[in-house]
A and B are shown apart, each in its own frame.
Chain A
Amino acid sequence: MSQMNMIQAIRSAHDIMLEKDPSVVAFGQDIGYFGGVFRCTDGLQQKYGEHRVIDAPIAEGGIVATAIGLGINGLRPVVEIQFADYIYPGFDQIVSELSRLRYRSAGDFFAPVTIRTPCGGGIRGGQTHSQSPEGIFTHLSGVKTVMVSNPYDAKGLLISAIESNDPVVFFEPKRIYNGPFDGDPDKPAVSWASHPKGEVPDDYYTVPLGKAEVVEEGEDLTIITYGTIVHVAQAAAKRAGVDAEIIDVRTLMPLDVDTIRDSVNKTGRAMVAHEATRFCGYGAELVATIQKECFWHLEAPISRITGWDTPYPHAFEWQYFPVQKRLADGIRKLMEVA
């Protein structure tokens, strides 16, 4: 067991899988010699060689496409797209090819590609380094979508993603690479050192795809969220003085409906929160799911707290981001409904 931040945990997952399975290759911009702009593959090219940890040209479409080719040829590529904001040139290959290969060929061909990509704001990244495009990917048929919230899950879920024969788009909120963020931008940054989820086994382990986690048990309401906002929600519930049950969805597609249903049926109140834009966002699917599964148990309308439907504004980052105060206010309001 070691204390790891999310970057170290992700690197450890790569290290273990590169060691364990000779078909695993890592592929992406700046990931080889340099070890990645966020250092997630630091030292791995030196350890496994240039044929296993490969620097790619700046061409996300080409990276995804050639990764598909590698996958068809029996390799297990782990692709890094440097920022989720730059994944769009690869989108056609993900939508039209990667996600549907197995289906269109009746199972004859598939490409077990994992696409990792740092997402989210809170790092002064403006509109080109802050996006959370997970809802675009959860809308596809045939690709699994993950967003992690802590080092332990990051390692375990990344290993599961790499071992999966289905393609996985794996979002890593970069705001919490180095430490959890409770949604109060005025407080000094903290590290993962004192967080229980920063304790990460050194060896192989997995966290299963398709399973949500109840990170806080509570009776008053349920907050369903993922990524950075898991930590914001925990702090906001404390701030509002409410006994909240908090669910980290973790795998957005396929969704663990059972965990959400059981919780909301118990508390009768539900808040859905994410950093991404609101309209047609992933939260809309969560709200519709809760409405269908839990309608007769609901004591209040389902609350939804998200980023605004604008591009991510550089100067107004903390007005855009669903900060702790915004969630706390939302929680209080939700509790006021008689």
Chain B
Amino acid sequence: MTKKPKLHIPQPTARPGEEPDFSYLNLSEAGAVERPATDARAKSIEFLAESLVRVLDDDHVAQGPWKPDLDEDTLIEALRLMVLTRVYDDRMQRVQRQGKISFYMQALGEEAVSIGQGLAFGPEDMLFPAYRNQGLYIMRNTGLVDMMCQCLSNSRDMCKGRQMPIFYQNKENNLFTISGNLATQFPQAVGWAMGAAIKGDDHIAASWLGDGSTAEADFHYALTFASVYHAPVVLNVINNQWAISTFQGVAGGERRSFAARGLGLGIPGIRVDGNDLLAVYAVTRWAVERARSGGGPTLIELVTYRGGAHSTSDDPTRYRPRNEWAAFPLGDPVERLKQHLIKNGSWSEDRHAEMETELKTTVEAAWKEAVSYGTMTEPPFLDVRLAFEDVFEEMPEHLEKQRDKLLRIRGELP
């Protein structure tokens, strides 16, 4: 019998009604992976792309060479920011269900990505987030009320009603405006980093996308340009296993890790436990130091799991086992950091419960304030004239005419 080509259709290990199976995840022991110097030659550290950097072990103890130098206060603050992200998400998910906002996306289960990585950058470093990076906006002081007002498209909306919910921006704190188009921000971040190098700044850039959108050309443009120009940039793939209903194998995750995508271009790749805040921080810090000292780009793959739906528009029980998250071997990032702090004697269940209550109160108060600036259905509303502004720096005549025509239709202009 001669062998013939056969079309391979990647399949997830489990669909609804089947037992979750994460045996495909290549896991390393906490503390087991070597930590090279930040100026190590890319060729000599390719092992980082296939192993999994982990710091917290199953008993919540920090292990090994990647154990970061973070003090207790910083870790408690990181925990607070992760919980705040989760509480914020939960509130926004519920107000979407109540019809107050049109759409929402939670970061449930992925909070350590934004918070752990966000801690590793300097305030002048420019971040180009993806849509599930709300944690970055929260930790860079975007303000819950402002974020909620964006989701409400109300009179205080930072983008004046031009974007769907969750597409935040924060120029003052160097967070780019989120696009709904996948992966487009990845090569833009590389360009920004090239610009920093041209100007002679020591600021770096970073960007994020999901496992699914690594299939986009923009991902590969980003890697090529980052490699060619040795751009000071940290590129991050959030591998949360699922792109809506499509598991990561369909993006090419079966053959090699996403971290390994840059190896052929000489870009170091690091695969890290994305639910281990200590490991996430440590790996990102390594890449930040490497980039800032002229070592060029790093590609980080954060292995995590999307605990909720892709968005408020899909029902994950239709395409994956209901209990899959509970079976995910890397657990829940909030719970793991919390247990680590408790183990260290710097935290307790009581303090945690108290903090949660406090954050719920904060988020509730923010929501009350946010809706006072209006909702999609309750005034104050945005002025419809804003629909015609900012298309260009100055409004051309044809847009003035179209604006006035709309105003006449609305009876607001004679």
By a beta-carbon cutoff of 8 Å, the part of chain A in contact with chain B is 25, 51-52, 57, 59, 61-62, 65-75, 89, 92-93, 96-97, 101-110, 141-142, 144, 164-166, 210, 254-255, 257
Contact = CB atoms under 8 A, between A and B. Distances in A.
Given A74-B199, A102-B390, A254-B397, A66 B177 contact: no
A57 B225 contact: yes
A69 B192 contact: yes
Interface residues of B, number: 43
A65 B218 contact: yes
A108 B177 contact: yes
B176 A96 contact: no
Contacts of A52: 198
Contacts of A108: 158, 169, 171, 177
A69 B396 contact: no
A68 B188 contact: yes
Report, nearest first, the 10 A-B pairs whose CB atoms are least far apart: A69-B191, A62-B221, A66-B191, A73-B195, A65-B187, A254-B396, A69-B192, A105-B177, A69-B188, A108-B171
A67 B198 CA distance: 13
B160 A72 contact: no
Given A62-B221, A72-B192, A103 B390 contact: yes
A107 B171 CA distance: 10
B160 A73 contact: no
A65 B169 contact: no
B195 A75 contact: yes
A104 B190 CA distance: 21
A72 B396 contact: no
Contacts of A210: 396
Contacts of A65: 184, 186-188, 190-191, 218, 221-222
Q: Which of B390, B396, B398 has the most CB of A within 10 A?
A: B390
A97 B396 contact: no
Q: Which of A57, A62, A92, A103 has the most CB of B within 10 A?
A: A62
Contacts of B218: 61-62, 65, 92-93
B392 A102 contact: yes
A92 to B, nearest CB: 7
A332 B89 CA distance: 69
Contact of B169 (A25, A67, A109): A109
A73 B181 contact: no
Contact of A59 (B160, B189, B224): B224
Q: Which of B163, B188, B196 has the most CB of A within 10 A?
A: B188
